[in-house]
């Protein structure tokens, strides 16, 4: 198809991604590279072997550093001269945040502050998209979805640090980026993101893949916990659509946004595992015993604002998401290659067929 996603907004654009070696960051970098953006990545080394970033071998500028180092991120912003920044670098794991809370707080809060401080000095910068999480809300485990103006909070250090990250962004937006020609800054809160190329610890799909590779039964902490599951390309399309609106100068878009799946795709861990057995019949699992750190049992997002104002909507339902995810790992096991671009092509075709505005411009 002769389609220019996002109206061709990223072709030739100078883009800086923090966290490009991570799971979501590498998918974002791949899509931007395909759209012929001039991409620079700033990140620490990949956290796992194997990892999605190394498999992709992308032709982008690959800078290594820690967002907690203000001079390092400042130099990256200075040398890359970005027109838009996507800030994804983070400590993203709930259980790890219990093990090392100071690393989590310093990375997620001060790291974000450092990125925004570096952006204050960027001459050509027009937009910043800061990626947070659906876990920023003070979770009362209500059956309805949380909206962008609901109270922020967080029980574990990861969730609380991401809520604090939202406050940092809001402060910088009001205190330093309020001028008529200042860069526009928005935050994006996505659901439980799954897809090929994730080998992180303490995440459901990577844990499934490791258990299958070893022929073991998967130990599951909270099979009844319900989450808003979505494919990594869903949130990636949301980040890019949000960036497109900011690049066009729409000041009203510079706020917080939810990007979650449709309500029927909020499922329990046990339901996810049951559907995964369609693709991996050999999958076995059991509930673990003993005490575990607190994790929310129920979490929903209300994405109606993004649907109404941005025209964003999910493309793949949960069945398609799980099929694509299982197929990515199956192909990698057979070939040691990433089927990322094939899945990106399929996703864009589905988006165009279902009328997603960013896919038919």
Instruction: Provide mean pLDDT across the span 174-192.
Output: 94
Q: Indicate if the pLDDT at residue 1 is higher than 60.
A: no
For the segment 74-127, what is each residue's pLDDT rounded down to a tens digit?
999 999 999 999 999 999 999 999 999 999 999 999 999 999 999 999 999 999
Which has the closest alpha carbon to 131: 30, 31, 40, 232?
232
pLDDT at 2: 59
pLDDT at 202: 87
Return the CATH number at 306: 3.40.50.720
pTM for this predicted structure: 0.96
Which has the closest alpha carbon to 312: 240, 227, 228, 231?
240
Whether 330 maps to a domain, the answer reads no
* % of residues, the chain, pLDDT over 70: 97
pLDDT at 152: 97
Whether 273 maps to a domain, the answer reads no
CA distance 303 to 230: 13
The DSSP line for 152-188 is B--SSHHHHHHHHHHHHHHHHHHHTS-STTSPEEEEE
Whether 21 maps to a domain, the answer reads yes
CB 156 within 8 A of CB 94: yes
CB 157 within 8 A of CB 213: no
Whether 152 maps to a domain, the answer reads yes
For the segment 255-308, what is each residue's pLDDT rounded down to a tens digit?
999 999 998 898 999 999 999 999 999 999 999 886 666 565 678 899 999 999
Whether 206 maps to a domain, the answer reads no
Count of domains for the chain: 1
Find the helix or strand (DSSP H, E) in which 86 lies: strand 84-87
Whether 326 maps to a domain, the answer reads no
Q: Residue 142: which domain range?
A: 5-201+230-266+298-320+337-359
pLDDT at 302: 94
pLDDT at 361: 61
Q: Give SS3 for 220.
A: strand
Whether 223 maps to a domain, the answer reads no
Q: φ and ψ at 120, to 5 degrees?
A: -60, -25
Q: Indicate if the pLDDT at residue 129 is higher than 50.
A: yes
Tokens coding 250: 């729409």
CB 28 within 8 A of CB 17: yes
For the segment 322-348, what is each residue's pLDDT rounded down to a tens digit?
999 999 999 999 999 999 999 999 999
Which has the closest alpha carbon to 249: 179, 312, 158?
179
pLDDT at 222: 86
Whether 94 maps to a domain, the answer reads yes
């Amino acid at each position: 198809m002769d389609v220019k996603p996002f109206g061709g907004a990223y072709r030739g654009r100078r883009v800086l991604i923090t966290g490009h070696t991570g799971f979501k960051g590498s998918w974002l970098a791949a899509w931007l590279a395909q759209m012929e953006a001039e991409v620079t990545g700033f990140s620490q080394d990949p956290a796992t072997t194997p990892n999605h970033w190394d498999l992709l071998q992308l032709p982008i500028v690959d800078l290594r550093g820690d967002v907690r180092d203000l001079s390092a991120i400042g130099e990256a912003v200075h040398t890359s001269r970005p027109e838009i920044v996507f800030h994804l670098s983070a400590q993203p794991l709930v259980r790890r945040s219990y093990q090392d809370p100071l690393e989590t707080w310093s990375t997620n809060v001060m790291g974000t502050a450092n990125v925004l401080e570096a952006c204050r000095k960027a001459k050509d910068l027009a937009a910043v998209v800061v990626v947070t999480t659906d876990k920023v809300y003070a979770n009362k485990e209500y059956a309805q979805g949380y909206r962008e103006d609901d109270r922020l909070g967080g029980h574990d250090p990861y969730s609380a640090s991401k809520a604090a990250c939202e406050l940092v962004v809001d402060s910088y937006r009001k205190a330093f980026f309020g001028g008529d020609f200042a860069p526009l800054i928005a935050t994006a809160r996505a659901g439980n993101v799954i897809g090929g190329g994730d080998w992180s610890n303490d995440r459901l799909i990577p844990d499934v893949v490791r258990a299958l590779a070893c022929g073991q039964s998967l130990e599951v902490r909270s099979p009844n916990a319900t989450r808003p599951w979505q494919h990594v390309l869903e949130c990636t399309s949301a980040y890019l659509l949000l960036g497109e609106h900011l690049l066009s100068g729409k000041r009203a878009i510079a706020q917080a946004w939810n990007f979650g799946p449709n309500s029927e795709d909020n499922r329990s861990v046990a339901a996810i595992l049951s559907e995964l057995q369609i693709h991996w019949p050999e999958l076995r699992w059991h509930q673990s015993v003993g005490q575990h750190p607190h994790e929310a049992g129920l979490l929903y997002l209300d994405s109606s604002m993004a649907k109404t104002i941005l025209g964003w909507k999910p493309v793949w339902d949960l069945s398609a998401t799980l099929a694509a995810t299982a197929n990515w790992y199956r192909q990698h096991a057979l070939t040691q290659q990433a089927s990322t671009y094939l899945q990106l092509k399929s996703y864009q075709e589905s988006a165009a067929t279902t009328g997603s505005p960013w896919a038919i411009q």
